[in-house]
Chains A and B, each alone.
Chain A
């Protein structure tokens, strides 16, 4: 099992460019999440998908869109990148069947917006 995979690992964008971050999991998990992590800020939830076909906003959704393409894949799109979106982006998944909701994280995408 590969677990949770993310592409790309690194990306540099210019202000105004668009891009899509890809995430896939092979654990047959129902729920998937996108977080951003900035120094000193911990993990902040951007969007999540409780199950295939549903998506909901998290704590910091502005400037992002998501697509739950199927049960395995959950993508994050930046339509017009801004320097404030420079961050490390993590995708995570969970089966959602336990109270403790253990989340499994991908390796992250390090994004710089110039």
Chain B
């Protein structure tokens, strides 16, 4: 089965950098995804790591290390609109389901 751990909440000021970690236990998976969810809204896809290493998409970067069962999402140049919850998710082999972590809430303050 899958188990994903994420710390719960972080507060940071505008312009700062925040790293959200995700550790997982799963027997085999295609890759690690990240989703963003604003309060009261629906989750939306942010990024995907199929291979080990760093993927960069604008101000956001995501990293995966399969050997360490670990990944992270890096939010740079934080803006107020980045206040949201961030979820990591794995795509296990053998089906097209996603297993989500419990999420990490980021609060950006002026």
Residues of A within 8 A of B (CB): 31, 33, 40-45, 48, 50, 58, 90, 92, 94, 96, 99-108
Contacts and interface: CB of A to CB of B under 8 A. Distances in A.
A42 B95 contact: no
Nearest to A48: B97
Contacts of B97: 33, 45, 48, 58, 101
A50 B103 contact: no
Contacts of A103: 43, 45, 98
Which interface residue of B87, B98, B99 has the most chain A CB atoms within 10 A? B98
A105 B43 CA distance: 6
B19 interface: no
Contacts of B48: 99-100, 102
B96 A106 contact: no
The 4 A-B pairs at the shortest CB distance, nearest first, are namely: A100-B48, A105-B42, A42-B102, A99-B30
Contacts of A104: 45
Interface in B51-110: 87, 91, 95-103
Contacts of B31: 99-100
21 contacts: A31-B96, A42-B87, A42-B101, A42-B102, A43-B43, A44-B100, A45-B97, A45-B98, A48-B97, A58-B97, A96-B96, A99-B50, A100-B30, A101-B96, A102-B45, A102-B48, A103-B43, A103-B45, A105-B42, A107-B42, A108-B42
A50 B42 contact: no
Given A31-B96, A106-B42, A100 B33 contact: yes
Contact of B42 (A31, A33, A90): A90
A48 B87 CA distance: 20
A42 B30 contact: no
Contact of B87 (A33, A43, A94): A43
